[in-house]
Amino acid sequence: MSSLKYWLWLSSRKGLGGTGMLRLLEHFDAPERIYYADPEEYAQVESLSQMARRELRSKNLEGADRVLEDCQRLGLRIMTIQDSDYPERLHQLPDPPCVLYIQGRLPVMDEEAAIGVVGTREPTLYGQRMAARLGVELARGGAVVVSGIARGLDAAAIRGALRAGGRVVSVLGGGTDVYYPREHRGLYQDVAAAGALVTEYPPGTENKGSHFPIRNRIISGLSLGVVAVECALHSGTMLTMDRALDQDRDLFAVPGMVGEPKSEGTNRLIQQGAKLVTCGEDILVEYRDRFPVKLFREHPMSEQVERQRLEGLTRQKAQEQAKEEPPAPEPDRTAQEDPRELVPRQEQSSRFTDDELDILRALGDKRRSADELVELTQIPVRRVTSALTMLQVRSAVEEGPGRRFASKVRLEP
């Protein structure tokens, strides 16, 4: 850990940037030698700005020690460009990040068919559905889904991959402990549990607009290919696709309606040579020969077919259960004679978590399976299962035949 503080000191020098750090490392080999070098030695390194040289003369390590303490407290790993498991895909970039902060477990990215999924923060319903569908199908096919975690299509793709039980990597424009947007705190936790949060920025760093173009080179850098789902012609997504092209990554794009502003960017990408994709298989087929063990064929399913599949599984489970015990009659719950406990609005947040409340609302006065609740709430399977267990412990939900659940309470609107 002692050597890490020199990495943190070096990465916090203003006016240096990634390329400046690389020049210093090429000249001195290690951050400790940079720290203890005489000021005159810095003049031997080409293209260092006056600000960078002035910053290098400051030997205060308090900030680095503070970041180390924060990382220990938050359970973050600090990965440096000289670590043996640093991704070679990032090494190949002209401006690779020299220090990364990682929460969760980063897959061995050089051995994975990692696909970046990017798009607008203000998508249409079509864009949301396509991003979620790609996330589901890529994850089911064995790919690692890489994206940001902002509102819109980043979050839709990540949620889709999580819903499918896949592995995900979200690259951040701030510290792992600074949730952006705030309502995505649960999503941050889910990503860290199923994969990794990755950032160049130390704990406590706010998400600034200037950080995101810098962040985007890591999204494309970790990926074999990047798919744009929906974006305007002049947008951050198009800049990300430009970086991906510069990095010699494969480009994919989802076609959109002609004349729709949010589809102008993706349609232009297709005109310029990006592969048109309508499902995850259109992307996976490009890499199956290179990753025959990692990737397997997953037939894309429409929402209607997927719904029918879930309903069929539910009916099958119910029929199997019915052979062993007679089905319990559906309760007669009229508005006038509902025997369930009414939970006043002001007590709901103190009695139940957000996930539990979403599940209770989805149940209403019906019996539903866990698969149906996942579909209705868009909450990952792991959290739905956990919430159902706690609701049963508190006698707020009961499990019936066919593993269908019913609420024993009513929420005041």
pLDDT at 337: 66
pLDDT, tens digit (0-9, with 9 covering 90-100), for 14-30? 988 888 999 999 999 99
Q: What percent of the chain has pLDDT over 90?
A: 70
Tens of pLDDT, residue by residue over 30-69, are 999 999 999 889 988 988 888 999 999 999 999 999 999 9
Average pLDDT, integer, range 238-242: 96
Report whether pLDDT(176) > 70: yes
pTM of the model: 0.73
Mean pLDDT, residues 172-177 taken together: 97
Residue 197 has pLDDT above 60, yes or no: yes
Average pLDDT over residues 378-385: 82
The C-alpha atoms of residue 77 and residue 197 are separated, in whole angstroms, by 10
Any residues with CB less than 8 A from the CB of 142 and at least 6 apart, and which? 113, 284, 291, 294, 295, 296
Residue 406 has pLDDT above 60, yes or no: yes
Residue 166 has pLDDT above 60, yes or no: yes
pLDDT 10s digits, 286-334: 999 999 999 977 544 444 444 544 444 445 444 544 444 444 444 444 4
So what's the pLDDT on residue 327?
45
Place of tokens 């810095």: 42
Residue 187 near residue 103, CB atoms below 8 Å: no
Least confident of 165-174, 212-221, 275-284, 307-316: 307-316
